């Protein structure tokens, strides 16, 4: 690609729980489940500990799925010729949108002064963008994207 790059943004999902926090949380849930299992076993309810174990496995599976989703990023590249959106994981990269910069528009849906949806549009096609961002971050990203497209069209 020989054209000038006006934006190269990588959008990563927000995750509030670190690996250490995950270990602490699972330890607390495990301790609670073991204590509850002991109480139910003493009462003669022998199947309840099995369900508590399944509960713990479900929590672990949910967090592992969340961490897997956090490794998937969205890259937005704006050049003087084209706009590209690429979904990237550690193992692969997939081009999900490509359009000419001159004809691409940014569509922003606002509710209660919050940006709830951001899309790229061209010739009847559209692509949602920056879904991993909060409304405030999405608003700032929309402004930066519109500025990059405007600059790319002008050739600044």
Tell which residue, 86, 71, 72, 69, has the closest CA to residue 7: 86
CA-based nearest residue to 12, from 62, 55, 79, 67: 67
Rounded to an integer, what distance in angstroms lies between the CA atom of residue 148 and that of residue 80?
9
- Per-residue pLDDT at 112: 87
Q: Residue 9: which of 78, 92, 109, 91 has the closest Cα?
A: 78
Instruction: Note the pLDDT of residue 122.
Output: 93
- Entry pTM: 0.71
The arrangement of strands across the sheet holding 114-122 comes to: 105-111, 114-122, 125-128
CA 30 vs. chain centroid, Å, equals 29
Look at residue 123 and give its three-state secondary structure. coil
Question: Average pLDDT of each block of 10 consecutive residues along the chain (156 residues)?
Answer: 83 83 93 95 93 94 86 92 92 92 91 88 92 90 94 86
Using DSSP's 3-state secondary structure scheme, residue 8 falls into: strand
């Amino acid at each position: 690609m020989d054209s000038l790059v006006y934006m190269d943004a990588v959008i990563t999902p927000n995750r509030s729980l670190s690996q250490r926090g995950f270990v602490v949380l699972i330890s607390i849930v495990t301790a609670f489940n073991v204590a509850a299992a002991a109480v139910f076993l003493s009462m003669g309810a022998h199947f309840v500990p099995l369900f508590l174990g399944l509960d713990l496995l479900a929590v672990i599976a949910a967090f592992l799925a969340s961490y897997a989703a956090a490794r998937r990023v969205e890259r937005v590249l704006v050049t003087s010729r084209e706009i590209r959106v690429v979904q990237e994981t550690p193992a692969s990269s997939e081009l999900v949108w490509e359009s000419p910069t001159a004809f691409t528009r940014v569509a922003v849906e606002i509710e209660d002064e919050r940006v709830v949806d951001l899309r790229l549009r061209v010739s009847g096609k559209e692509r949602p963008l920056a879904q991993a961002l909060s409304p405030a971050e999405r608003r700032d990203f929309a402004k930066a994207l519109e500025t990059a497209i405007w600059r790319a069209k002008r050739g600044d």
